[in-house]
Amino acid sequence: MVNSEYLNNLNKAQKDAVLHTEGPLLIVAGAGSGKTKVLTSRIANLIKEKKAFPNQILSVTFTNKAAKEMQLRVSKTLGSSAVGLPWLGTFHSICAKLLRKHASAANLNSNFTITDTDDQIRLIKNICKAENVDVKQLAPRYILAIIDRWKNRGYYPTDVIINQKDIYEKTILPIYKLYQQKLIELNACDFGDLILHCVKILEKNNDIREIYSENFKYILVDEYQDTNFIQSRWLNLLTNKNKNICCVGDDDQSIYSWRGAEIKNFLEFDQVYKNTKIIRLEQNYRSTQNILSVASNLISNNQNRVGKNLKTTMEDGDLIKLNCFKNGKDEAIGVSDEIEKNKKNYSFNNTAILVRAIFQTREFEERFLKIGLPYRIIGGTKFYERAEIKDCVAYLRLVYQTKDDLAFERIINNPKRSLGETTLKSIHEFAKKNSLNLELSSKKMLEQNLIKPKAKIGLTLFLDLMMKWRNDLNSKKCNHVKLLQLILDESGYSSMLKNKKDLENENRLENIKELLNAMKEFDTLESFLEHVSLATSVDQEWDGEKINMMTMHASKGLEFDLIFLPGWEEGLFPHQKSIEEKGQNGLEEERRLAYVGITRAKKKAIISFSMNRFYQGDWIDSMASRFIDELPEKYIEKNTFLDETKDEIEDFEFNQDLDDDDNIRSPGWIRYQKRIK
């Protein structure tokens, strides 16, 4: 039984978007404007009004979660009528379905396998080995990223035109050719191939293209601002017969250019599809008016946008708070105090801290662990659990304690020293037989000439370095911070990260620099290692509520009552690299990221920046982000520090840990004192 009430729950713009069925339609859906409701209502209406059978509707999403939610909502509205929605899914799932029907056109069998990332990396490594390409200098993950970029642009190896400014592309193209050949031999394809093969099949086979363009009377696309070239091209080919394509999205939330998304697909939609109808969903059902006014004013500084004016029926709400702190530590204290002050009104589950770069979570994690606030990292790993941090700590642990076999195992071949599993196994066996720790076993085996020649060189070097670092520390030639810097340089770990072309290494290096900053807060190596042990052993899997921490990128699609947006400083946000590499386009994407961050807040948003921050390995005098100047003052509440003169600033105390009066200390600090007593 069809629920005929579904149209009654729509506002005028939403209803117009549902009922406009003929011709191309672009729905500009502002944050919190109910785009999923519109899409599902549109599908329900097409079926109810007999505009199309369920199998004649193609509905495309970016995630399985979004596809399942749409399926559930449509089924709830249509009941048994929704059983047959075979073409509702992600780009990849639908293309996989099409490709299995026409696999022979791509030189595949219909039972082809889809390789995962591990298989892809293994294949690339094998090719690199055969072609004498040094994977230490050119990481397989980076090679795959370039190949994926080519596929997103619609390029098979024969289509690629080398970018002469990129010294790596000349090396990667032959690898790409061999990689594709091997995939065909294995009757396999990767995720990029799923769409690329489908596009090429549709381009080269008019009969196949006619079948699908005839069948799909209506096409609906969610999050259209996140599409890349090949996805857009695929959709265009499928509208060859019927022009009833409806794309929903928000150009102001286009923040994924780094993974291939092209905002011009959205901005130029009406140029690609003639006679396009544009409908704006400007009624926000998430945030207070003050939050929307600040976000709208900020994003209005972007030039490349369709434009809209968000409004809400909700109350004006609190002004957006703007806080200035002396440094990152004070910022973390200020945020934790604010959370505790507001916990009666805003639960931990409905509270989030959104950062520009993942290394920023460290100071907040330290603070929360110290005062006992539960938290979770969404879309990432806790600071002291990140691989590069665990590597650094393992080096320090082994320098401090020769019997630390776990640390020895972790770093003995990191970076590579020709000390593989076979060598480590023999060291383990010798240690067990002679009741020795692994380091002492290694020394004894070298003395007895029990290590193979190639491994002997690497092991000797490693043990010599360990002895040197211990002498450096014991002789007071360096403190624990300088010690880690020496370890990173002399072990080759820094060079490994700097020289290896890997997309993740920039984040790893930033995290290590943040670790060095953290170490400065401790007087000795012993006290620092004790802190790390306690930090990693604290049970953070508490039942109940947790404060959410994540990057602004990871926050897209989420919402929280209370949002904190720290680190709004030039160079960090907007990020310097983004501006250097992409110029004005990079700046506008950073501003869209700020817009996404602000519009995650339902009731309260707090922005902050610091006057000093340890960033990129050095203490710097920070400058407030240019985005702060673009915030409308009438909707902003500034803390008193912002209005202080320079002389007054020097005497202004943010750090409540330094106060003597228990009455003005934060609840967290009081709780911490009770715990340590």
Residues with catalytic function: 35-36, 222-223, 253, 600
Other CB atoms within 10 Å distance of the CB of residue 233? 20
Distance (Å) of CA 642 to CA 298, 331, 333, 646: 20, 14, 18, 10
Polymer length of the chain? 677
Q: Is 548 left (phi over 0), alpha (psi -120 to 50) or beta?
A: beta
The closest of 329, 368, 362 to 348, measured between CA atoms, is 368
The closest of 565, 655, 657 to 609, measured between CA atoms, is 565
Instruction: Dig out the tokens for 552 from the structure.
Output: 């602004």
Contact 199, 234 (CB under 8 A): yes
Other CB atoms within 10 Å distance of the CB of residue 403? 12
Instruction: Dig out the tokens for 45 from the structure.
Output: 């209406």
Contact 234, 95 (CB under 8 A): yes
DSSP 8-state symbol, 33: S
Whole-angstrom distance, CA of residue 560 vs CA of residue 432: 54
**501 beta partners:** 138
Whole-angstrom distance, CA of residue 617 vs CA of residue 93: 44
Whole-angstrom distance, CA of residue 219 vs CA of residue 228: 17
Q: State the angle between helix axes of 191-204 and 140-152 in degrees (0 to 180), rounded to the nearest 10.
A: 30
Q: Mention every residue, 6+ apart, whose C-beta is less than 8 A from residue 78.
A: 2, 3, 44, 47, 48
**27 beta partners:** 248, 279
**24 beta partners:** none
Q: Mention every residue, 6+ apart, whose C-beta is less than 8 A from residue 445.
A: 426, 427, 430, 451
**565 beta partners:** 607
**563 beta partners:** 352, 605
CA atoms within 13 A on the CB side of 122: 6
Contact 252, 30 (CB under 8 A): yes
Q: How far apart are the first and last CA of the chain?
A: 66
Q: Mention every residue, 6+ apart, whose C-beta is less than 8 A from residue 478.
A: 472, 486
The closest of 605, 577, 576, 573 to 592, measured between CA atoms, is 573
Degrees to nearest 5, angle at CA 178 with 175 and 181: 150
Torsion sign over Cα 671, 672, 674, 675: positive
**581 beta partners:** none
Instruction: Dig out the tokens for 3 from the structure.
Output: 């629920």
DSSP 8-state symbol, 57: E
Instruction: Dig out the tokens for 383 from the structure.
Output: 């600071």
Whole-angstrom distance, CA of residue 269 vs CA of residue 265: 6
Identify the three-state secondary structure at position 150: helix
Helix, strand, coil percentages, rounded to 5, for the chain:
55, 15, 30
